[in-house]
């Protein structure tokens, strides 16, 4: 089943919430009107009986016989839709008032028999009213709602004592008008609520459509953005609302993707260029060696030596690219173990002595003897070797290269110092970019691939450290690696290394 759109869901939720609110309001309103109208009826009945009781007290003070004034007194109280009656408990006789809309009674006896009640707008039968008054409580008043002639009547009874006379006052009020009002009110609610719901749902749909229109625009624009046009961006009308912030965040994502794609394209272009050179040389040497049937052993040997040299260079480039690709993929490449940075630095310096001797470059180590540390020995060795190889490569014959290993401000620092010509200021900002140095080397005729410093930076950062060019001028350059001492094995790296060696 297909889920409705966001606009439809917003409109439906809005309509459901409004429907529940209107239903609660209708129930509460209907209950309030019903209760207040019934309370008004009870108040009217109570006021009528108060008037009757006051009149009885006045008549009783004149010391007249009850039979003389009860029948005439009750006839003076004429109310619309209300009947008043007086019950004499001693004789069980009931005196009823006349209807305000009916003709006057012919005689008092007919009025006392209840003929006027039948003609009144109160549909309660005289016998039923008399029965209820006979069963009235002796001391407290009571109120009843009784059904009569398919409608309801509200009856209030009140016991009254006048000297030796025990009476029951009763007032009945027909509820036809109240029921008609409630019926019309209910119809109005049932007819009005659906109309309000339809209008509200339509308004909610239009409001949701208007507010979500930027989403539709962004969706259409995002659907057209691909690898070829990552420079395009989503429109942002209001950067401070939720949709504007969403579009801004998405545009930032597109910027990062565009930058990543650009770096990837540049990486592939540079890698292809670096790989093409040794492959072309190897292919050329092989073609030259096979171009004639008769080749001297010396010529063939020279061709094979050149091919081997380019093959080694090609292997080094492929290994570097593979390492960087694995690092970019987030693969865990570190194999940490206890070691001494001082010993590792001296071993690296010993390894490059042959390269330095070929250019009559002097090497010198200065620093602590041990520097216990926990890290990937192979990667750290590769980092130091890359720095030393670059230092020797760019130091002219007769110069010197130094390697310092010390502890400073909670870090182990490895400084590689050379006496080369320095690095141009315009090249220093991109010194650690992949293949960037390769363009400089190609101008110098060097065959390096320009990945050494990029790999060195990745190794340092993988160990929680940093690498930077701290000095470069006409007297030479200084590269510094800072590794946190906190990576030393706790609590004592030296003891761990000693126990491992044992």
Q: Where are the domains of the chain?
A: 6-182, 242-328, 337-501
Architecture of domain 6-182: 2-Layer Sandwich (3.30)
Read off the pTM: 0.49
Query: Is CATH 1.10.287.130 the classification given to domain 242-328?
Result: yes
Half-sphere exposure of 277 (CA within 13 A, CB side): 19
- Count the neighbouring beta carbons within 10 Å of the beta carbon of residue 372: 21
> pLDDT tens for residues 142-178?
898 888 878 889 999 999 888 778 899 999 998 888 8
> pLDDT tens for residues 446-470?
445 567 888 889 899 989 999 999 9
**pLDDT for res 492:** 43
Q: Rounded to 5 degrees, what angle do the CA atoms 259, 261, 265 make? A: 115
**pLDDT for res 106:** 38
Query: Is CATH 3.40.630.30 the classification given to domain 337-501?
Result: no
What is the distance between the alpha carbons of residues 52 and 493, in angstroms, rounded to a whole number?
109
**pLDDT for res 98:** 64
Torsion sign across C-alpha atoms 332, 338, 342, 347: negative
Reply yes or no on whether the pLDDT at 493 is more than 60. no
**pLDDT for res 482:** 94
Instruction: State mean pLDDT over 273-282.
Output: 75
- Count the neighbouring beta carbons within 10 Å of the beta carbon of residue 46: 15
Q: Rounded to 5 degrees, what angle do the CA atoms 204, 215, 237 make? A: 100
Paired with 467 in beta bridges are 481
> pLDDT tens for residues 210-230?
777 777 788 888 888 877 777
What is the distance between the alpha carbons of residues 102 and 402, in angstroms, rounded to a whole number?
129
Structure tokens at 461: 């950062």
Q: Do the domains spanning 6-182 and 337-501 agree at the CATH topology level?
A: no
What is the distance between the alpha carbons of residues 343 and 220, in angstroms, rounded to a whole number?
61
- Count the neighbouring beta carbons within 10 Å of the beta carbon of residue 202: 12
Q: Report residue 29: phi and psi, to 5°.
A: -65, -45
**pLDDT for res 494:** 39
> In degrees to the nearest 10, what's the CA dihedral of 409, 414, 419, 422?
-80
Q: Which has the higher per-residue pLDDT, 109 or 5?
A: 5
> pLDDT tens for residues 285-324?
888 788 777 778 888 888 888 888 888 878 877 877 777 7
What is the distance between the alpha carbons of residues 260 and 253, in angstroms, rounded to a whole number?
10
Q: Which has the higher per-residue pLDDT, 184 or 15?
A: 184
Give whole-number Cα distances, 442 to 176, 313, 434, 449, in Å.
108, 15, 14, 9
Question: What is the pLDDT confidence band of residue 109, given thresholds at 50, 70 and 90?
Answer: very low
DSSP string, 214-236: HHHHHHHHHHH--GGGTT-----
Q: For residues 172 and 83, is the Cβ–Cβ distance under 8 A?
A: yes
What is the distance between the alpha carbons of residues 317 and 450, in angstroms, rounded to a whole number?
9
Question: What is the pLDDT confidence band of residue 443, given thresholds at 50, 70 and 90?
Answer: very low
Question: What is the pLDDT confidence band of residue 362, given thresholds at 50, 70 and 90?
Answer: very high
**pLDDT for res 495:** 41
Provide the mean pLDDT of the chain: 80
Q: Any idea which of 84-93, 104-113, 117-126, 319-328 has the lowest mean pLDDT?
A: 104-113
Structure tokens at 335: 């194999």
What is the distance between the alpha carbons of residues 139 and 326, in angstroms, rounded to a whole number?
100
**pLDDT for res 6:** 74
**pLDDT for res 206:** 84
Question: What is the pLDDT confidence band of residue 279, given thresholds at 50, 70 and 90?
Answer: confident
**pLDDT for res 466:** 94
Q: For residues 320 and 457, is the Cβ–Cβ distance under 8 A?
A: no
Q: Over 116-179, what HEC string results?
A: HHHHCCCCCCHHHHHHHHHCCCCCCCEEEEEEECCEEEEEEEEEEEECCEEEEEEEEEECHHHH
**pLDDT for res 371:** 87
What is the distance between the alpha carbons of residues 329 and 8, in angstroms, rounded to a whole number?
42
Q: Is 400 helix (H, G, I), strand (E, B) or coil?
A: strand
Question: What is the pLDDT confidence band of residue 7, given thresholds at 50, 70 and 90?
Answer: confident
**pLDDT for res 118:** 38
Q: Is 416 exposed, middle or buried (0-12, 13-18, 19+ CB in 10 A)?
A: buried
Cis check: omega of the bond before 274, within 30 degrees of 0: no
């Amino acid at each position: 089943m297909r889920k409705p759109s966001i606009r439809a869901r917003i409109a439906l939720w809005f309509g459901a919430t409004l429907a529940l609110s209107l239903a609660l309001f209708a129930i509460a309103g209907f209950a309030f009107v019903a209760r207040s109208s019934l309370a008004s009826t009870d108040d009217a009945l109570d006021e009528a009986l108060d008037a009757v009781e006051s009149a009885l007290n006045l008549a009783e003070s004149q010391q007249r016989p009850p039979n003389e004034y009860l029948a005439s007194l009750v006839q003076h109280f004429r109310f619309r839709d209300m009947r008043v009656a007086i019950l004499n408990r001693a004789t069980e006789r009931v005196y009823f008032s006349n209807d305000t809309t009916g003709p006057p009674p012919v005689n008092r006896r007919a009025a006392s028999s209840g003929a006027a009640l039948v003609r009144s707008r109160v549909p309660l039968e005289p016998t039923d009213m008399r029965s209820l008054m006979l069963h009235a409580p002796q001391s407290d008043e009571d109120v009843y709602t009784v059904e009569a002639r398919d409608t309801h009547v509200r009856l209030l009874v009140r016991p009254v004592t006048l000297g030796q006379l025990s009476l029951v006052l009763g007032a009945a009020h027909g509820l036809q008008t109240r029921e008609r009002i409630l019926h019309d009110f209910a119809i109005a609610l049932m007819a009005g609520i659906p109309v309000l719901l339809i209008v509200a749902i339509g308004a909610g749909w239009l409001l949701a459509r208007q507010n979500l229109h930027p989403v539709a625009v962004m969706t259409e624009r995002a659907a057209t953005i691909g690898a070829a046009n990552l420079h395009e961006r989503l429109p942002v009308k209001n950067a401070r609302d939720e949709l504007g912030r969403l579009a801004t965040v998405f545009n930032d994502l597109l910027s990062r993707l565009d930058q990543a794609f650009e770096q990837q394209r540049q990486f592939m272009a540079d890698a292809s260029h670096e790989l093409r050179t040794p492959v072309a040389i190897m292919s050329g040497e092989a073609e030259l060696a096979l171009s004639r049937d008769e080749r001297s052993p010396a010529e063939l040997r020279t061709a094979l030596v050149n091919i081997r040299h380019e093959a080694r260079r090609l292997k080094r480039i492929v290994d570097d690219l593979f390492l960087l690709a694995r690092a970019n993929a987030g693969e865990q490449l570190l194999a940490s173990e206890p070691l001494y940075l001082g010993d590792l630095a001296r071993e690296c310096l010993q390894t490059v002595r042959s390269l330095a001797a070929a250019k009559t470059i002097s090497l010198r180590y200065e620093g602590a003897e041990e520097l216990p540390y926990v890290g990937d020995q192979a990667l750290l060795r590769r980092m130091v070797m890359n720095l030393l190889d670059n230092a020797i490569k760019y130091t002219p014959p007769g110069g010197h290269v130094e390697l310092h290993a010390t502890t400073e401000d909670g870090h182990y620092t490895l400084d590689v110092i050379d006496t080369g010509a320095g690095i141009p200021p315009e090249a220093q900002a991109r010194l650690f970019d992949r293949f960037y140095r390769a363009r400089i080397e190609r101008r110098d005729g060097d065959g390096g691939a320009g990945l050494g410093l990029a790999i060195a930076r990745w190794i340092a950062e993988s160990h929680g450290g940093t690498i930077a060019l701290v000095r470069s001028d006409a007297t030479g350059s200084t590269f510094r690696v800072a590794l946190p001492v906190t990576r030393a094995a706790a609590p004592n790296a030296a003891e761990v290394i000693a126990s491992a060696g044992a």
